[in-house]
Amino acid sequence: MSKLAKTEILSALESAKRYLPKQGGLVGFVHHNTLHDFEEMPFHEAARHVGKVMGSKAYASLEFFKTALSSGRIQKKDMFAASSLELNADITKLAQTYRLQATALLSDLIFLEDRNDNATSVRWKIRNGFLGPDSNEAWTTAKALCLEAKLAGVQVERSEFAFQLTHANDLSYLYFCQLFDLGFSHWSICFDKTILSTFLGGIIKPNAAIPKIIRPMNFDAAFMEQVNEDTQAIEAIMICLDFLEISEDELADFFLWALKDIGGFSGLALAHDLKNNSGKEFLDLVAIRLLILIGCGARAINLGQANRIIDVNHGPCLKTSTVFQAIQVLESSKKLQKVDEAVLIGALTKLESADRFEILQEAYEKKYYRDVCSVLQQKEITNKPAKENNIDTSFYSAIFCIDEREESLRRHLEEVDSTVSTYGYAGFFNIDMLFQAAGSHEQFALCPVSITPNKVIREDYKNNGYFSKTTNIFTQSIRKFIHQKSRTLIFGTLFHIWVAFFTAFADLIRLGSPKIYSKVTRGIWRLLEQSASTGINFDEALDSVSSFSVEDYADRIVTMLKTCGLQKKWTSLIYVVGHGSSSLNNPHAAAYNCGACSGNRGGPNARVFALAANHPLVREKIKEMGVNIPNSAHFVGGYHDTCSDDFIYYDLEQLPSNFRARHNKNAKNIQSACERDAQERSRRFESIPECSPRQAFAKVQYRALKYAQPRPECGHATNALCIVGDRAHSKHIFLDRRAFLCSYDNDSDVAGEYLAKLLSAVLPVCAGINLEYYFSYVDNEKYGSGTKLPHNVTGLAGVMNGSLSDLQTGLPWQMVEIHEPVRLLMMIYAPLDKVLALKKKIPYVFDLIDRGWVNAVFKDPRGGAFVNIKNEPVDMNLASGKSFASSCDVYRGKREHIDAVMLARSFS
Amino acid sequence: MTSTSILQISLVMLPVLAMALVLPISYAKHSENLANRACKIVMSGLLLGSSCLLFFSGTTSTASVHMYTLYEFQGHHFDIILQQSRITFLLAFFFVVIISVTALFSANYLHRDDGYWRFQAFMYVYTTAVLVVVYSGNLDTLLIGWEVVGLSSVFLIAYYFKRDRPVQNAFYTLVHYRLGGVFLLAAIFIEVSNIRTDIRENFFVLFLILAAFVKSAQLPFSTWLPRAMEGPTPSSAIFYGGISVHLGPILLLKHQEAMIHAPIAQVILGVGGLLTAFYAAGVGRTKTDIKNQLAYATMGQLGVIYMEIALGFYTLSIIHIILHCSARTFQFLKSPSILHDHHVLKLERSKQYFELLLPKKARNVIYYLSIHEFLLPQVIKILITKPFFKLVSLASSIDRSISKYFKAEDCSDLQTKIQVENSL
């Protein structure tokens, strides 16, 4: 047999790679589209294709949609509108004959139960002329039946094979855990060379020395002669493929089959490769996997191939039971004419090939989109644009992250305090930095993953005193010692005889009553706070080469001010608020943090931004660039904890004394907005009964400290909308924490330059979050990581299920539980032609929209209606004029999703 | 019957009663609140009762109270006997504290999970069983609790019964527990037999040690413990970090007098503990995931506890049991926080480890053996599993030929089934 060419192998690997999840370590968890590599295909096609190959679901279950239909969440007319014209023609024809409503008939046909056919019903179909004997479906079914019979015949061999595969998988997980450990085990395999040579030297070599009968892996002597410690990955792969007699056209399928069960680890290797910009780790992983398969007895993978044929090769085929049920729906099987029969079969075939789920999904989304667009449109009709207020010195602004979890806080703040104007900007506030926290040597990126930061900002203890450093180092090293040594033999024994009493007692209180524990520790911290408070030496940073220069700052700040339209309306105090989330016992904590800060907490960005924007040199530079920040304006950095609803301000001692009183007043209002926000969030937690804002606030604070809490907050769940435009358009509309809100000032951006920047940064990020939630929801076992209760953190990189398994990628069920599987709707408040003019500049964004990964509507902020990208007006329903006095009235007593509604409160 | 015994009995019965009365109603109403409230009441009751026993019972010496005779046969009794002593009450108190923390933890942790009620039910059964073991005054009584602890733990390993691996591993554990049960029964048989020699005494203690070793996953029965980490985190905590594995040493501590007369068994105990401690340290050091590391750390500490018992440091071993049990359970409960802890504490792998003292070649070999659990699973497979299944298939083939002889129906179905099982 001729050797396979290297390029063929690489290209086959390339195509198999696309099906594997690409999730890096959990520490820097970043949301991304689960099917990112299929974005060149249309959404529905891609989802169905991957679903078929990997055996995962592309849409929510039929049961889910059935419930949605009965609750009115899906409407029959939307289903009719979402299906194709030819199908509708058939349906209408049938409906006329049987005096049924076309929309109702379609919905009945869509919700026919999905039953599998057996051989008898296939034969029945062929005999009764529903299918010709040469039709594609009959052939596939017959083939599948043959294969099944064949497999049943070799039952024992099959189970032997399955056993070998399980053994191979177990060994793979075991070895990959060791090889990809980021430093958790006390004793790790020594790494002086590549992963593959470590594996060959550290595992394959001693393996040969073990008596044959208890050897975990058995290799042929002839095979082993070809492999030694210095074998390159690609050579090893070639040797393995030769041994397994894989032919050229089987390659891609074979790789997919071999890597399917170790998707989590291959994803990790791929993510590492992406970071290091090489393809080494993945190739090593493939070579190791093939070696393990061979070592566990894989000889020729024919049986696996048979499985694959059954899995993949069945196209859309009409089932007998479906036809039966359809005839029952028409309630007159006897009267069914030959003509009708053909129409019915035609309609059903079309329905099947278009995939009824696609129609359901579209209809499901359409209802939500229509409701939201209508409310936003209606607001413009009923509320005349508020006349420009004269800016009072008591007015203030607050810039938040675009995160949809800040939507409720902004809404409540605007309700509580009419003097505030809020803005939304990506939560790293253009400060793309490497941050080094006080007392740490580690630097981490605080910017979106697409940017590689090279500027360093260091934080340090404020009063550089001896006391603070030593106490900190002392407590840290004690905790470190306990943490690491309690699991070893000798220190562990000493620990468990003596020290364990104190730690066990502390843990007992901590687990039994986090409230008391936090009160005590907070008391202690308050004593130490003076010494332990941290700060950034900004002047020193300005001088440093590795940090930002004055020009860098000015450039970044001006971009942000102009995009938001902040420079049009200066206020005396401007709060810049980063966000993050604190929770315990939560390996997925990074997924709750700010996505624009690479899954870290965004506080330092806000802090640095405020420091820079207040700095006289930077302001001067900004003035040169054409933006004049008045001397009476002062920036304050802040941080909002989306889990505990804590709100802290940075560097208040630098606040001029004449701002103090005003700030205190604002802080009070912000606090009460936080409390209301906590109340609104609490309605989603079944374990919190309905209560006042203050009580809810206390409850969510306690929630963030609780080890026993698998749902510290709901994260991005329920996100469905992204509004790009002035806050005035969406102000005082209850959006139920479902909307990413980006401020965009259409007037000051004539050329669309800032819009292009904004869209290219915001749209892929929001779409990534949205689609990750979508896929983790519709198939939580395959795309998500299942329930988090048995999760076991391994190698500081990921979670396994129980004692040994593949790394679980995607989001756990507890995070997506309340999500609605809806694709993101971008609402862009800019004239359509202006947006379309950017098509050449940011093609990626338009591709996402055209291929249906994201839906988009546009509206000229000066007037007019919503249009889609083809300039067709969007379906609206302007009749309902319900409005509520305040947000609290809307959500009181409700735990389910709430449609967008207008709040009557308008001040002008 | 004294008030102490009544209190003891009611403490034992309380969790099972709660399970039988409250859980069905709560399940039918699908109301977690009711179950949570019941859990709180039961746990406070247990805490109150066990602390009363500890502080106010006034017992100074060990007393055995005969409660009931299940049956009597030719002078042999199957009695239910309660033990009343300071140590017993102390252990029971600490175990109740640990169980109640875990129970309250899991009431939150399993919120909205499908198996919420299932978990609660097994938790109550387990609590009762643990109290039976601790309070028992003779082996017959202890055996009841011992087996129920095993069963409830097996059911919680298979908590996610829809996936293959938890069920396989639950079965694996069940086989080990049954073996432990057989050892305990053997010990009971020797106890009731009338021969009185030193050899008898040694064998009696040896079987007790074997039973304890199975429960505490000591060599050579240690492979089940890491595989049992399949259930939700609180169940792993309370069974394999916490109380269940510590019942082994408690079994031995209850037979201190017998142990003194069995020097050979004592040596075996010490050596077994020592070997396990080193084995667990070696394997545990290479493990990259938190639950396995904790499992091996537990195993190693139990080895040390057995050594303490073998050397006669009974009080020390009790302190060690209590402290290790509570600290380890809490570590398990906090285990998903490990990423957070590493981040906050800025931990790095320490570059100095004992293994560096070894020459490189030996280091590599030991490393290889460590990640493969010293090839113990393979050895067990070759020495025990395969011969056993061969025996079964031999028996079935004999059976088949006999049935053929009598022209009964063909049993080929059975044959296939056995072959399938053989491969598992």
- pLDDT score for A150: 43
Chain A residues lying within 8 Å of B273, measured CB to CB: none
Q: Do B108 and A708 touch (CB under 8 A)?
A: yes
Q: Residue A907 — very low, low, confident or very high, per pLDDT cuts 50/70/90? A: very low
Of A167-171, A546-550, B340-344, the poorest mean pLDDT is in: B340-344
Calculate mean pLDDT across residues A323-352.
Answer: 66
Indicate if the pLDDT at residue A262 is higher than 50.
Answer: yes
Q: Counting runs of H as helices and runs of E as strands, what totals does chain B give?
A: 19, 2
Q: Are A846 and A755 in contact (CB under 8 A)?
A: no
Partner residue opposite B288 with nearest CB, options A185, A213, A709: A185
Q: For residue B413, count other CB atoms closer than 10 A to its CB.
A: 9
**More confident of the two residues A413 and B2:** A413
Alpha carbon B224 to its chain's center: 11
How far are the Cα atoms of A264, A403, A418, A669 from residue A412, in angstroms, in the given order? 41, 15, 10, 10
- Report yes or no: B330 at the A interface, CB cutoff 8 Å: yes
CA–CA separation, B203 and A179 (whole Å): 46
Return contacts of B414-420, CB within 8 angstroms, 24+ apart: B416/A155, B416/A156, B418/B389, B418/B392, B418/B393, B419/A156, B419/A159, B419/B393, B420/A155, B420/A156, B420/A159
Q: How many other C-beta atoms are found inside a 10 Å radius of the C-beta of residue A308?
A: 18
Helix (H, G, I), strand (E, B) or coil at A436: strand
CB count, 10 Å around CB of A793? Answer: 23
Apex A416 CA angle, A410 and A418, nearest 5: 85
Among B297, B336, B372, beta carbon nearest to A791: B336
Contact A76, A70 (CB under 8 A): no
Q: Which residue has the higher pLDDT, A129 or A835?
A: A835
CA dist., res. B212 & res. B171, Å (int): 19
Residue labelled with tokens 């595992």? A203
Would the pLDDT of A152 be above 50? no
Selecting from A178, A484, A587 the residue whose C-beta is nearest the C-beta of B371 gives A178
Which pLDDT score, from 0 to 100, does residue B424 have?
45
pLDDT of residue A133 exceeding 50, the answer is no
Chain A 10-69, residues with CB within 8 Å of chain B CB atoms: 26-27
Q: How confident is the model at residue A356 (pLDDT cuts 50, 70, 90)?
A: confident
Is residue A257 predicted with pLDDT exceeding 50?
yes
Size of interface A-B (CB pairs under 8 A): 246
Task: Give per-residue pLDDT as tens, B86-112.
Answer: 889 999 999 999 999 999 999 889 988
Over 90: is that where the pLDDT of A824 sits? yes
Mean pLDDT value of segment A429-455:
85
Residues of B in Cβ contact (< 8 Å) with A486: 297, 327, 331
Q: What is the mean pLDDT of residues A739-764?
A: 89
- The sign of the dihedral angle between the CA atoms of A626, A631, A633, A638 is positive
Edge-to-edge strand list for the sheet holding A396-400: A420-424, A396-400, A573-580, A634-641, A647-649
Confidence label for A311 from pLDDT (cuts 50, 70 and 90): very low
Q: Residue for token digits 């009460």?
A: A672
Which contiguous run of DSSP H or E holds residue A724?
A: strand A721-724
Select from B159, B238, B288 the residue whose CB has the most chain A CBs within 10 Å, as the one to mutate to test that interface: B288
Using CA atoms, how far apart are residues A830 and A200, in angstroms rounded to an integer?
A: 59
How far apart CA B124 and CA A126 sit, in angstroms, is 59
Contact, A39 vs A33, CB < 8 A?
yes
Strand bridging mode A825-828 / A721-724: parallel
Q: How many CB atoms lie within 10 A of CB B256?
A: 12
Q: What is the pLDDT of residue A84?
A: 82
Instruction: Report the pLDDT averaged over residues A707-712.
Output: 89
CB nearest A493 (choices: B109, B284, B301): B301
User: Residues 6 or more apart from A221 whose CB is under 8 A from it?
Assistant: none
What is the CB neighbour count within 10 angstroms for residue A332?
Answer: 11
Distances (CA, A) of B138 to A105, A468, B82, B142, B145: 73, 58, 8, 6, 12
In chain B, the residue whose alpha carbon lies closest to the alpha carbon of A178 is B288
Region of residue B346 (phi > 0: left; psi between -120 and 50: alpha; otherwise: beta) = left
Q: Compute the distance between CA of residue B228 and CA of residue B169 in angstroms, rounded to an integer.
A: 6
Nearest Cα of chain B lies from the Cα of A329 at a distance, in angstroms, of 35
Tell me the mean pLDDT in the region A247-268. Answer: 84
- Indicate the range of A136-140, A201-205, A518-522, B123-127 predicted with least confidence: A136-140
DSSP symbols for B34-90 = HHHHHHHHHHHHHHHHHHHHHHHS---S-EEEEEEEEEEETTEEEEEEEEE-HHHHH
Q: Respond yes or no on whether the N-terminal peptide bond of residue B220 is cis (omega within 30° of 0).
A: yes
With a pLDDT cut of 70, the percent of chain A lying above it is: 85
First to last CA, chain B: 52
Q: Which residues pair with B72 in a beta bridge?
A: B77
Q: Which residue out of A187, A505, A685 would a mutagenesis test of the B interface target, given it has the greatest number of B Cβ atoms within 10 Å? A: A187
Provide the residue type at A458 as one letter: R
Q: Would an 8 Å CB–CB cutoff place A383 in contact with chain B?
A: no
Cβ distance A792 to B379 less than 8 Å, yes or no, reads no
Strand A573-580 and strand A634-641: the pairing is parallel
* pLDDT of amino acid A139: 43
Amino acid, res. A112 = L
Q: Are B44 and B15 in contact (CB under 8 A)?
A: no
Residues A122-142 have a mean pLDDT of 48
Does A460 score more than 70 pLDDT? yes
CB interface of B with A, residues 284-303, below 8 Å: 284-294, 296-297, 300-301
CA within 13 Å, CB half, A559: 18
DSSP bridge partners of A723: A741, A827
In terms of Cα–Cα distance, which of A581, A574, A575, A577 is closest to A639? A577
What are the beta bridge partners of residue A639? A578, A648
Residue A277 CA to residue A280 CA, distance in Å, equals 9
A458 three-class SS: strand
With CB atoms and an 8 Å threshold, state whether B364 touches A787: no
Backbone angles phi, psi at B83, to 5 degrees: -105, 135
Two structure tokens written together for B107: 């009431």
Taking the Cβ of residue B263 and every Cβ of chain A, the question of whether any pair is shorter than 8 Å is answered with no
pLDDT given for residue A469 in this prediction:
67
Collapsing DSSP to helix, strand or coil, B102 comes out as helix
The kind and range of the H/E element at B105 are: helix B86-109
Interatomic CA distance for residues A666 and A258, integer angstroms:
60
**For residue B302, what is the nearest residue in chain A, using CA coordinates?**
A493
pLDDT, one tens digit for every residue, chain B (424 residues): 688 888 888 999 999 998 899 888 988 888 888 889 999 999 999 999 999 888 887 767 777 888 788 888 777 778 888 888 888 999 999 999 999 999 999 988 998 888 899 999 999 999 999 999 999 988 888 999 999 999 999 999 999 988 888 998 999 999 999 999 999 999 988 888 766 677 788 888 899 999 999 999 998 899 999 999 998 999 999 888 789 999 999 999 998 888 888 888 899 999 999 999 999 998 998 899 999 999 999 999 999 999 999 998 999 999 999 999 999 999 999 999 888 888 777 777 666 667 777 888 888 888 888 889 899 988 888 888 888 888 988 998 898 888 888 765 555 555 555 554 544 4
pLDDT for the residue numbered A365: 92
**Do residues A138 and A131 touch, judged by C-beta distance below 8 A?**
yes
B368 has a chain A CB within 8 A of its CB: yes
Question: Letter for the amino acid at A805?
Answer: S
CB of B313 within 8 Å of a chain A CB? The answer is no
